[in-house]
Amino acid sequence: MHVYIKVDQHLTILQTSSAFLPKLSDTVKCDPKKMATQGTTGANNATTRPPPNPSPLRTAKFFQANMRILVTGGAGFIGSHLVDRLMENEKNEVVVVDNYFTGSKDNLKQWIGHPRFELIRHDVTEPLLIEVDQIYHLACPASPIFYKHNPVKTIKTNVIGTLNMLGLAKRVGARILLTSTSEVYGDPLVHPQDESYWGNVNPIGVRSCYDEGKRVAETLMFDYHRQHGIEIRIARIFNTYGPRMNIDDGRVVSNFIAQAIRNEPLTVQSPGTQTRSFCYVSDMVDGLVRLMEGNNTGPINIGNPGEFTMLELAENVKELINPEVKIIHVENTPDDPRQRKPVITKAKELLGWEPTVKLVDGLPRMEEDFRKRLGIPKNA
């Protein structure tokens, strides 16, 4: 075999041995059937390697340290309620990272200074070096007002932020849970939605930074799971409401309650027949903890299958909070899903979870919180 090399305008012929060339037997042989098995999802998901080992303190013979749990976006609405739940266990040390784009320190004020609690101002789009055992990855603006305000930042949070958290999980051997969203189903052509539905999402719409960002985040989770053996959990959370929601965040429940308290008309986006399913925040947190502590990777729908039209929700808020307010129609936003209702069969069977708080019971609790923050007492 000869190799031709051009040197100083002359063609030099070098005799080479076949030893310098790779042999076919040295190349990696891929078994398509094996690769297909590794590419499956759900509880039977095979990984290419075992998960990384956690800290030796987890298996120490004489002394076991507290479980160190990281909550990204822990100063936000759902995140702060999750922190409350985790702090109830005296064996947990909770570390919260948040950049306060939509979160607030006020949501965590009862824990600041507690010896088992730590709060770090940090943006997940930057790497984080820390030792933890579990990661609840909630960081991302979830309200259209906020994620449309800075769509590039939103998709960076979903993609780069998730990459950084997966890299951390890989380094320290932590289990990681991603709060994905029902928005991965887009404007669904299947109703109600179960986890096998792939969705109907506009990839270039004004909501795509959030919808497609979460879809990519789910992809990254499973790729790290298959390639590096990371222990993952994925929750597809549906509409959630409760105390500590941002009062003017643009989501329908907070909008209606704030408007009713302020004696303003309830603005229903046309046509008003679009549906949502509303899960109270304590039920949502319970589902997330059960998923993290269970053995199933997901994705699993966490939401309340009770379905309401926007007009029905407005009528409920009017009846419970302020019967005097009017209900008016306003123009709808682009790419607004027409229907949203979870199938929670997996959550029931695999997690033993289902919501317990009804909408008529949850709305007054949220009203009380909003009145306190707005400084508007309820009329006797």
How do residues 146-198 score in pLDDT, each as one tens digit? 888 889 999 999 999 999 999 999 999 999 999 999 999 988 889 999 999 99
Please state, in angstroms and rounded to a whole number, the distance separating the CA atoms of residues 359 and 114: 34
First to last CA, the chain: 98
Asked if residue 3 has pLDDT above 60, the reply is no
Question: What pLDDT is recorded for position 35?
Answer: 36
Maximum CA extent, the chain: 101
- Taking residues 65-88, what's their average pLDDT? 96
Asked if residue 8 has pLDDT above 80, the reply is no
Residue 3 carries which DSSP code? Answer: E
Question: What pLDDT is recorded for position 188?
Answer: 87
- Taking residues 187-212, what's their average pLDDT? 91
Asked if residue 137 has pLDDT above 90, the reply is yes
Please give the model's pTM, rounded to 2 decimal places. 0.84
Cα–Cα nearest to 220, from 174, 278, 178: 178
Question: What pLDDT is recorded for position 63?
Answer: 65
pLDDT confidence of 88, banded at 50, 70, 90?
very high
Question: What pLDDT is recorded for position 27?
Answer: 40
Asked if residue 81 has pLDDT above 80, the reply is yes
Domains and their CATH numbers in the chain? 66-374 (3.40.50.720)
CB 138 within 8 A of CB 235: no
- Taking residues 102-116, what's their average pLDDT? 96
Q: Which of 210, 224, 241, 280 is catalytic?
A: 210
- Taking residues 370-377, what's their average pLDDT? 93
Please state, in angstroms and rounded to a whole number, the distance separating the CA atoms of residues 215 and 182: 10
280 assigned to active site: no
Question: What pLDDT is recorded for position 53?
Answer: 80
- The CA angle 26-48-161, to the nearest 5 degrees, is 115
- Taking residues 64-71, what's their average pLDDT? 89
Percent of the chain predicted with pLDDT > 90: 69
Helix runs in the chain, H state only: 32-38, 77-87, 144-149, 151-156, 162-172, 208-228, 252-261, 281-293, 310-321, 345-346, 359-374
Average pLDDT, rounded, for the chain:
86
Question: What pLDDT is recorded for position 22?
Answer: 42
- Taking residues 3-30, what's their average pLDDT? 42
Strand partners, 186: 200
Tokens representing 197? 């539905």
Residue 332 carries which DSSP code? Answer: P
Asked if residue 275 has pLDDT above 70, the reply is yes
CA dihedral 187, 82, 357, 232 (to 10 degrees): 50
Handedness of CA 155, 161, 164, 170 (dihedral sign): negative
Asked if residue 42 has pLDDT above 70, the reply is no
Question: What pLDDT is recorded for position 295?
Answer: 94
Question: What pLDDT is recorded for position 331?
Answer: 87
Asked if residue 18 has pLDDT above 60, the reply is no
CA 326 to chain centre: 35
